[in-house]
Chains A and B, each alone.
Chain A
């Protein structure tokens, strides 16, 4: 039961991250493999605000979230968009993203060095809920994920911006011709999804306890698995995919071998690519 609890916390972190990742793919058709590097850079900003300005990590998270938003927006505006204007095949964008991931991750490592750090933060008192032992920190992360997911739901369903995002995702040309300011929608998408990557990076680092510049390098496996399970470009699918993958990896870690916990994500990803590349709930056209 406790592994299920840890699974829920991992799932919460993954859900925040995967929704941002899949929104970027939905609106701009970019598989942003540099997502993990933005997460960890944001976590380090949070860490420096936390330790140097002597504020709690939660206050410092504002710095991490802002970093994620601005860096992601700039990455799209000054790197991905110019490449996409050249009408290159999607694989070129993937390679550019991989290159940017190396620059982001190892640029950070060159600056901060290779040692592990951790936030100055207490785990909070422990709670016993439904047979699971969870710390205050873990409960906070889960609560935060719920708030974020509800907010994204509200954004997509009930706001003009959200409708414009969905329209742009379905058909950018038609959206533009119908008067949607797609440029603005894309910028807002990257700011919001970037903010999510910043938040995800921070809570990821809180959840792992200690972290260094390359800690999130393999996180992309989890993100891809969550996205493909729910269907590429489907934010609700990504939420569900994240919960499934997060819980499944922690439970498999408890019963099989913690070193293999990404394996379940891998199997899910390969299985989805093999049988349903458009996701469990997606339609054929999105693949």
Chain B
């Protein structure tokens, strides 16, 4: 824990990123037990109310409290991004390790499959999934998750290949260890820093992707609030109720900004040139 505290103190960017991300995670967690107003409640008397003491960030055209919606929306964003990156990691990393460990035909198949997924437009796939299974947060997770798989598969393979030529892997092979054990004991721990950095970056991209999917109406469905749909709904009212667009937009911006700062901070922290003495 001391090392974490020390690196937060040393690196202002990392500290700022961590605080912003922590703020949104905290908001999402608090929303489970408390929100300023019931997020589903329609306060008909206070429709389109500007920010005030009772509604800090105002209300929308149905009289729903914007702050409450942003807090609950953070839940959606974080959950979708978390599971989408999780799918990428859980499937992509093993595939990448497999490709690097076996080479030959398996590697070809894995890498060419990755190329195919990369070549397929993400939005089209999302629309396809929605058309078949209907819109919803889970389908957004699957659509975004699928596009995270080749990212991690390629990164893992690329980082693992040079490890496979290191002396310690050779030595593990002379000790009769099989590819699976070498991948888990030697390769994975040594490429973990790269994966952590990339996972943070992918997390921020997934937050943006979720917002985009919700914006076009194929993400989380009403009444569960989401930042992207809040933006979409505000569109026609932005001239007389700008807070409807400003606050969800700001939430997306700050959260993604925080994640990127965090990713850059991790990158500096895990710099291979600095890591040697730090362990």
Q: Do A and B come from one complex?
A: no
A-to-B contact residues, CB < 8 Å: none
B-to-A contact residues, CB < 8 Å: none
